[in-house]
Amino acid sequence: MSWEPVIGLEVHVHLKTRTKVFCRCPVGFGAGENTQTCPVCLGFPGALPVINRRAVEWTIKLGLALGCEIAQHAVFARKHYPYPDLPKGYQISQYDLPSCINGKMLLPTAEGDRVIGIVRAHLEEDAAKTIHVGGRSGRIGGADYSLIDFNRGGTPLVEIVTAPDIRSADEARRFLQLLRQTVVELGISDAEMEKGALRVDANVSVRPTGSDELRTRTEIKNMNSFNFIARGIEAEVERQIGVWDSGDEVRQQTYDFDAATGTLTARRSKEEADDYRYFPEPDLVPVEPPADLVEALCAELPELPAERIRRLEAALDLDRATVLVTGGLDRLWGETVAAGADRTAAANVIANALVGAGVDLGAVSPAELAKLVGARDRIPRTAFDEAIAKLGDPGFSAEPYLTQEAVADSAELEPIVARVLEANPGQVEAFRNGKQGLLGFFVGQVMKETDGKANPRVVSELVRSRLEA
Ligand code: ADP
Ligand code: MG
Ligand code: ZN
């Protein structure tokens, strides 16, 4: 029997408002521990929350970008659970009346747009941060003691919940990359995953391929890297298939995924909504945005990443368009092409060489970049790499690099190619047996022999003609 993964994501995004969601403490990462607190975000008795207007507007803006209906009457609720990093004993969130519902995100694929339903997007406060000291890799198990930093407590957080419409770990990754870029372009969050500003819970189940049932799901908590998320989902899908295949049943359960060891550890059995004793927050008024505010926010929406991928696809191809747009690179690409560069070559240079070199993209001159793209096959690789690395320097000029010539003379290169092939008989045989990918290996070896001065296109032709002779 073949199995199909069923995945729904809960995505938490920090909003980059200046102050917290229910008090006026500054929001920030990296300040001294417990320096950004007040009676409200420390949960002192009698302290009263006040809603941050901008956080509400940004939640609505995101909802609009995700095609959601915007509630004319949203209500904050208390979600109760006892935890040291939650000083009030409850989290203020939205429950049955969230600000945004029933949206969708289109995920461009070669087979058309995949529609991922957005069940809801709501505004809530983040908990404080617990730091476990001693023990292994900062986890609570085996720790000597724990410290709490309340700076994060009360940071505005939007939670976006998808329908169980995602069908693979790779699709989850692509959805998240697109969502992240959308949030960044809306200007509401930096969504920096390594700082915990975008965190994901993945709900995972499997079912017989072709069926439309929803089987018992498990949840992998709190992941903050696209690769970990994809690997965590893959590991859990595999585990569940094993459980069903062995005649057993998957039990509802929450897991932590340890990316270093690739293992899933069961956490606690899942609470039901009843356990949280939700009730409307009596200290806050409902959120009732006037229609003209919602219209104004809608009018501010930029052209969104998914639309731009489709537009670029026409000029390029889907994969390159996706990489450029989700990397926030498409504007530079457009300007570089306008400055005369070849479309595909410009996309390759920007997405690979430029990003790999860690260049400050905002400082790059498209005209100079276009010159380098045009000269890539002609000038020595070392000169090209050096020029790319310096592209972001103030006043950078490509000219000194453009006058250098890579060795393209076949007569000069032939003996080196011959030497490299002789030195690697195993690889030569593998190539002749169909392992075409080894071409890059041979070219790389010749480049090494020539200190990066050979013209890789000519080398590649020489290698090919010799091996295919
Ligand atoms: P809660 O976490 O509050 O129990 P929901 O029932 O609303 O929430 O579901 C949370 C997430 O789980 C959603 O993203 C949803 O798409 C996903 N989900 C629900 N059922 C399944 C299932 N059978 N398999 C995979 N994901 C599921
Ligand atoms: Mg959940
Ligand atoms: Zn505060």
Q: Is the pLDDT of residue 217 over 60?
A: yes
CA-to-CA distance for 199 and 14, rounded, in angstroms?
9
State whether 76 and 151 are in the same domain.
yes
Residue 314, domain member (yes or no):
no
- Report which of residues 403 and 13 the model is more confident about: 13
Q: Tell me, yes or no, whether 311 lies in a domain.
A: no
Say yes or no: 351 and 434 in one domain. Answer: no
Q: Which ligand is nearest to the CA of 116?
A: 1
Same domain assignment for residues 73 and 48: yes
User: Percent of the chain having pLDDT more than 70?
Assistant: 98
Structure confidence at residue 404 (pLDDT): 87
Question: Measured between alpha carbons, how far is 201 from 8 in angstroms, rounded to an integer?
Answer: 9
Pocket of ligand 1 (CB under 6 A): 6-10, 161-164, 203-205, 214-215, 217
Q: CATH number of the domain at 419, please.
A: 1.10.10.410
Question: 169 CA distance to ligand 2 centroid (A)?
Answer: 18
Query: Which atom of ligand 1 lies nearest, measured to the CA of 164?
Result: 16
Binning pLDDT at 50, 70 and 90, where does residue 140 land?
confident
Q: By the 8 A CB rule, do 47 and 40 touch?
A: yes
Give 17-48 pLDDT, tens digit per residue. Answer: 999 999 999 998 778 999 999 999 999 999 99
Q: Per the domain annotation, does 95 fall within a domain?
A: yes
Tell whether the model's pLDDT for residue 201 goes beyond 60.
yes
The CA R_g of the chain, rounded to the nearest whole Å, is: 27
Kindly write down the DSSP assignment for every residue of 341-395, as one continuous string.
--HHHHHHIIIIIIHHTT--GGG--HHHHHHHHHHTTTS-HHHHHHHHHHTTSTT
CA of 36 to the centre of ligand 3 (A): 7
Centroid of ligand 2 to alpha carbon of 204 (angstroms): 11
Q: Is residue 77 part of a domain?
A: yes
Q: Which ligand is nearest to the CA of 217?
A: 1
Mean pLDDT score, 360-373: 94
466 or 214, higher pLDDT:
214
* pLDDT for residue 271 is more than 60: no
**Residue of minimum CA distance from atom 17 in ligand 1:** 8
388, 272: one domain: no
Tell me the CA–centroid distance for residue 393 and ligand 3, in Å: 41
Q: Which residues contact 242 (CB under 8 A, 6 or more apart)?
A: none
Residue with CA at minimum distance from ligand 1 atom 11: 8
Q: What is the mean pLDDT of residues 183-194?
A: 95
In a domain, 338, yes or no: yes
Domain limit, last residue, from 373, 402, 431: 402
pLDDT at residue 136 greater than cutoff 90: no
- b/e map of 415-430 (b: 16 or more CB within 10 Å)? ebbeebbeebeebbee
Shared-domain flag, residues 389 and 461:
no
Mean pLDDT taken over the chain: 93
| Ligand 1 probe mutation, 12, 161, 211, 241, most atoms within 8 A of CB | 161
CA of 10 to the centre of ligand 2 (A): 7
> In this structure, which residue's CA is closest to atom 3 in ligand 1?
273
Stretch 285-306: mean pLDDT: 96
Q: Identify the pLDDT of residue 269.
A: 63
Q: Which of 249, 280, 298 is the last residue of a domain?
A: 298
For strand 218-223 and strand 254-258, is the pairing parallel, antiparallel, or unpaired?
Answer: parallel
336 and 271 fall within a common domain: no
Do 144 and 197 lie in a common domain?
yes
pLDDT digits (tens, 9 = 90+) for 100-123: 999 999 999 989 899 999 999 999
Q: How far is the CA of 39 from the centre of ligand 3 (A)?
A: 6
Residues 373 and 442 in one domain: no
Indicate yes or no: pTM above 0.85: yes
Q: Which atom of ligand 1 is nearest to the CA of 216?
A: 23
Does residue 387 share a domain with residue 434? no
Ligand closest to Cα of 162 equals 1
- Nearest ligand 1 atom to the CA of 219 is 12
All residues at 6 or more sequence positions from 356 whose CB lies less than 8 Å from its CB, including other chains? none
Is 64 a residue whose pLDDT tops 90? yes
Spatial CB neighbours of 143, under 8 Å, sequence gap ≥ 6: 132, 133, 134, 135
Decide if pLDDT at 270 tops 80.
no
Residue 310 lies in a domain: no
Q: Which atom of ligand 1 is nearest to the CA of 162?
A: 14
Last residue of some domain: 385, 402, 419? 402
**Domain match, 370 and 422 both:** no
Q: Closest-lying ligand to the alpha carbon of 276?
A: 1
Find the 390 Cα to ligand 1 centroid distance in Å.
48
* pLDDT band with cut points at 50, 70 and 90 for residue 407: confident
Ligand 3: distance of its center to the CA of 21 in Å?
A: 9
Among residues 202, 201, 179, 203, which one has the least CA distance to residue 191? 179
**Which amino acid residue places its CA nearest to atom 23 of ligand 1?**
214
pLDDT number for residue 134: 87
Domain count, the chain: 3
Range of the domain at 346: 329-402
Whether residue 306 is contained in a domain is answered as no
pLDDT tens digits for range 312-327 = 999 999 999 999 999 9
Q: What is the model's pLDDT at position 273? A: 61
The answer to whether residue 100 is domain-embedded is yes
Arithmetic mean of pLDDT, 49-58: 98
Average pLDDT over residues 376-380: 88
Q: Are residues 286 and 398 in the same domain?
A: no
Percent of the chain residues past pLDDT 90, beyond the cut: 78
Instruction: Report the nearest atom of ligand 1 relative to the CA of 203.
Output: 26
Instruction: Give 195 Cα–ligand 3 centroid separation in angstroms.
Output: 20
Q: Quick one: 222 and 348 in the same domain?
A: no
